[in-house]
Each structure stands twice: as structure tokens, then as C-alpha cells.
Structure 1
Amino acid sequence: MDSYIRAHITVSGVVQGVGYRFFAQRVATQLGITGYVRNLPDGRVEVVAEGKQGAMNAFIEELRRGPWSAHVSGFNLETSGYKGEFNRFTIRF
């Protein structure tokens, strides 16, 4: 049985204005991951996500690639204990 984890991710490169947030939401929903994604003022995208370890591993790999329209040049990942804070995965504006 997979344990649950939480991840805080920041992604840099060409990741705003290219559908990255919608991509992240679609993949998270498909994998049963909860949390949020949002643009940061400095041009990066922030993701806070929670889910089963196996699903989170797949999600993280997809986020590293991004949608075809994005170019990910930096990826920072910090994991921590699961908090059960979210009911679904949302885009924050």
C-alpha cells in the first residue's frame, strides 16, 4: 500500500502563458492528486500537491516535462508529510 506524501514544487522556464497550470490540473485530477497550482509574480509556477506516493511520482515526472508548449528549465521539489489539506486540485489565480 502506498503511503501519502505532500510536495511543494516550483517550476521555472517558459511556464506562464503556455497552459502549464491547466496541464498540471488535468494530470493531477487523472491521478487522484489534490492541491493547487498558481503563477508566481517572478515568472515561476508553484505547485502544492498531496497524494499517494506512486501517483505523486508519476505527477512529478509529468510536471518536469510540462505540456508541449512549455519549456521547463528549473524544477525545485521539497517533500513533507501528508496533511490532508485539500479536497481537489485547483488553479489559483
Structure 2
Amino acid sequence: MIRAVEQTWPYVGELFVDDELATRLADDGIAPLPSSLRPAFDDVIDAVFAEADLARPEGRLAFVVGGRGRSGGHTEHLGPLLAEMQVLARAHPGASW
């Protein structure tokens, strides 16, 4: 568990970065700004880590490792990952979950 948290924690900040689209959606009352969700996330994560008796990784500020996913910039690793995820949908067309 600790290794998984250490590997994924640097990407958490990216979930809460406001961009142009998020700002427009917030201004139109469609969706909240991602940054406004961070305090509630921190409260829940703190409780989960405390209950699991795990040390929460340091750093509460947004630390964006990639920052390209929302704008369509992806690495070469996305293609095989998408292909793997599409196997089930292609094997069962019309299925709903």
C-alpha cells in the first residue's frame, strides 16, 4: 500500500488544477472548480490514512507532474492501456454497467 501511494501521490495535485474549461463550466454553474474540491478531499484522505495507520505523504500544494492529460497530451503508454480497457466493451457490445 505504501509503495502504491508513493507512486501515485505526485499526481494527486493534478486533479485539482483549474484550467480554462473548468473555469468556464464553473462560471456557468455546471461544475465546481477542481481547486474548490481539494479541502474536502484532504479531509477524507486524512481520515482514511489515519484509520489505515499510514503516514500521509508530505505536500498539500498542487504538484502537477504531467498536466497534459486534460488538454489531450498523452504519452505513448496510453494507446495500449486504452486497448486493454476496450476489450470488455468490444466483447459485449451494447452492454451497460
What band does the TM-score fall into relative to the shorter chain? 0.3 to 0.5
- Higher relative contact order, structure no. (Cα contacts within 8 Å, ≥ 6 residues apart): 1
TM-score by length of 2: 0.32
- Which structure has greater helix proportion? 2
- Which structure has greater strand proportion? 1
TM-score by length of 1: 0.33
